[in-house]
Structure 1
Amino acid sequence: MTGIKYLMRVLLLTCLLLIGGRCKKEAVFVYSTLRGDVLLPCANLVSSDCSLISWTFFKVGQVRLTQEVSGGQVRVDSDKFSRMSITSNCSLHLRDLRVDDAGSYVCLDNGNAISDIYVSLLTITSFSTITELQPGGNLTLNCILFTYYDAGSCKSYSSVFNLSFTAEDSTVLPNDNRYKLTGHTRCNITLVANLQREDNNRKWRCQVNTKENRRVAFIDFTSTFLFENPPTAQNRNPSATTDCPVHLPISRIMLCLSLPVMVIIVGLITRGGDHKRAKTSAAGIEPRDSD
C-alpha cells in the first residue's frame, strides 16, 4: 500500500511538471522570516469557486510531495493545518513559519496548475556566548536562507538574490577591520564583529536583496551587553573608602554614599542608648555600710 501511495505521488509530481512545462509560467519567489507569515496568491483563476482549488507542497531536500488543500479546504491531516487558511480569493495564508515550510507551493484549479510559488525563509543565529557580548568581545552572527532545495542551498537561485549584513537602517557596514565576513555564499553568510561600547543594544540586520536591488526580507539581531569591562585603577577615586566605581548610575552612587551615613547614625543611636542605661543603673545602686 505504501508503494502505491509513493507511485501516486511520483505520477502527480510528473503531471505537475508537465503541466508547468506546457504553461511556461515564470516561477514566483516569496521571501519571509522564521515565525513570520506569507500570503500565496492563486493567480489566473478561471472562476471564483474555491471548491475547485487545491494546493500542493514539494521540497527537493526532503523529496516530499503533499496535498495541503483539497476542495478549497485545508486538509486535517496536514502538518500545517493549524497555521494555514484559504482566503476568499483562494489564496493560501500561512502563519508562524517554520524551517520546513520553505519549498514549492502549487495552486491547481480543477486539477490544472496555475500558480507555482517558491517560499524561502530567512534566519539569523548568534554563536557568541553571554560573556563575549561586551566591549572587546566578538559577536558572531550566522544568516541562512532556507530555500526550495535545502538549508543554505542556492543552486538555480544563484542569480535571483543575494544576502548581506547591514546596519539597522539597511546601509552598508563601513569598510572597517572590525567587521569580517566568513564562509560567504549567496545563501549562507557569517559576520564576525569586534564589539565596542556603542554596540550595546545595537541592531544588526541580515537582508535579502533581489537582482533588481530591491530588499524583499530582513531580520534583526540585538546585541545586549550583560557585562561591562571591570574598571581599571585609573578609573577609581583614590580618596574613596568604598568600592563604588566612578562610572555608576546615580541610584548606585546615592546608595554608596548613604551606607556610611546610615552606619554612623546607627552607631550614635546605639551609643546613646548604652550611655542612658549606664546612668540609670548607676542611679539605682545604693551605698552599703561597712561592718
Structure 2
Amino acid sequence: MATNRCVLMVLLICSDCAYTGVKGDAIPTFFTSAGGQVTLPCTNVLSEDCSSTTWIYNNGGYSSGTTEEVGHGLVKPNSPTNRSKRLRVASNCSLNIANATAEDVGLYTCQQFLIEGAQQEGDDAPVYLAVLQMSASSEVTEIEPGSEVTLQCLLLTHDKCKRTVENKLKISWVDKENRELHRTSNRHIQTSSVCNITIAEKPVDLKPSERWRSWTCRLTADGQVKASTTYSIQVKASTEILEDRTVFIIVGVLVACLLSTILVIVVICKKRANSERRAQNNVNEIRLCDMASESNQPFANDQSTDDLLYASIDDHLNQEQSTNHARKSPVDTQMYSYLMPPSSDETENRGSVDHGGLYATVQK
C-alpha cells in the first residue's frame, strides 16, 4: 500500500513538472523581424497528410482569446485575425507565416484531432513567436550630413519581454560589417530594457562613395543570431547641397525678375491708358468748341435772315406752367420756331406748310 502511494506521488510530481514545462521556459520561442517569414514546427503530427492537425493561436499579454487558425490541415479563411492569406500549412504540418507583423506575436499550439468533433489525441505542441521591429522618428528618405537620425528597435514578445526570454536575449546595433556600435560624440545609444534599444546619430565624415547610411538592429539568443532588421537612408553629398542651394537662389532671382517685369508692364499700361484718356478728352473738347463756333455763324446767303419768320410759342405750350417756372428758376425760357418761306413749287402743291415740327428752345 505504501508502495502504491509512492508511485502515485511520483506520477503527480512528474505531471506537475510537465505542466510547468509547457507553460514555462520549456516552450521554445521563435524569432523573426517585421516583414519577414517564419516557420513554426508541429512536433505531434499523427497523420502525414495533416488532416488531423489543428493550429490555435493566443496573443497572450496583448489581448485575451484563442482563435483556430488551421483546422484539420486547412487554413481558416474566416479567422478573426484576418491573416489567412499570410498563413500556409507546410508538408510536414508546420505553420508558415509570411510578412510577419506585431499582430502575429503570441502563443501557437499544434493539436491533433483524428475526426472533427472528437477528443484531442496526444499532447499539445506549443511555440512562442516574437517579432523584432524597428521604427524611425521621421519618415524622410534623404538627409543632409550632420542631420540627426533616431531609431528604436523593439522586440515584441507574448509576455511583453518579462520572464520568458529575459535572460537569454541581447539586442545591439551593428554596422554593415556586423561590428557592434558604441557611443561616440555623434552617436548616442540608450537601452531602456533588454527588448528596447534606441540609437541617435548624426552621419558625418562620410566618404564620397557612401551615399547610403545603414543601421542594423541585431537580436541574439544563446549567443546565436536569431533575427535582424536594417534601416537605410540616403545622405546628400556636399556638391548636391551646393547645387540645391544654387538652384534655389536662381529660382528666387527669376521669380523676382518676373514679378518686377509684371509690375513695369502694369505701370506702362496704366500710363498709356491715362494718356489715351486725356487725348480723347482733348479731342472731345475741340469738337465741342467747333460745334459752338458753327452754331454762332449766320445762315448761308441763299437763306438770309430776312426770309425767316419767328414766332413765340412759349405762351401756347407753357401757359399752364409759367407760374411754376417763374418760382423755380429766375431764367426765362422762350421757345421759338423759325419758318422758311415755302418755294413756289411747294406753294402750288400744298396749300399750307406744316411748321409744327421745326422749333428751337433758347434760354437766356
Report the CA distance between 1:133 and its aligned residue: 2.6
**Counterpart mapping for 1:267-282 below 5 A:** none
Deviation at 1:227, TM superposition (A): 7.1
Q: Percent identity?
A: 23
1:183 Cα deviation from its structure 2 partner: 4.8
Structure 2: gaps (5+ residues): 1-14, 114-119, 248-364
1:116 to 1:131, Cα distance in 2 relative to 1, 3 A: closer
- 2:139 is the counterpart of 1:146: no
Structure 1 residue 148: Cα displacement: 1.1
Aligned match of 2:192: 184
Flag the 1:173–1:70 CA change in 2: closer, same or farther, 3 A: same
Pair 1:175–1:181, CA change in 2 (3 A): closer
Look up the SS of the partner of 2:232 in the other structure: strand
Partner of 1:59: 59
Judged with a 3 Å threshold, the aligned counterparts in structure 2 of structure 1 residues 129 and 68 are, in CA distance, closer, same or farther, namely closer
Answer yes or no: is the 8 Å Cα contact 1:134–1:197 preserved in 2. no
Query: Residue 165 of structure 2: SS of its match in structure 1?
Result: helix
Measured after TM superposition, the shift of residue 187 of structure 1 is 1.1
1:16-53 residue CA offsets vs partner (Å, 9 max, x unmatched): xx999448352111111111111111014344241111
TM, length-normalised to structure 1: 0.66
**2:75 corresponds to which residue?**
74
CA distance in 2, matches of 1:73, 1:96: 20
1:3-18 alignment runs, 5 A limit: none
AA at the equivalent of 1:89? N
**Larger radius of gyration between Structure 1 and Structure 2:** 2
Residues 1:131 and 1:118: Cα distance change in structure 2 (over 3 Å): closer
User: Does residue 1:39 correspond to 2:47, yes or no?
Assistant: no
Q: CA deviation at 1:128?
A: 3.7
Q: Which consecutive segments of 4 or more residues in structure 1 shift more than 6 A?
A: none
2:216 is matched with which residue? 205
Q: Is the 8 A contact 1:102 1:147 kept in 2?
A: yes
Match of 1:160, as an amino acid?
K
What's the TM-score, normalizing by structure 2?
0.53
Please say if residues 137 and 149 of structure 2, whose CA atoms lie closer than 8 Å, have aligned partners that are also in contact.
yes
Equivalenced residues, count: 213
| Equivalent-residue separation in structure 1 for 2:129 and 2:65 (angstroms) | 15
In the other structure, the counterpart of 2:234 is 224
**Unaligned segments of structure 1, at least 5 residues:** 1-17, 232-242, 245-291
Superposed CA offset, 1:60-104 (max 9, x none): 211121111111111121222111111121111111212101111
Q: Which sits farther off after the overlay, 50-59 or 194-203? A: 194-203
Aligned partner letter, 1:68: E
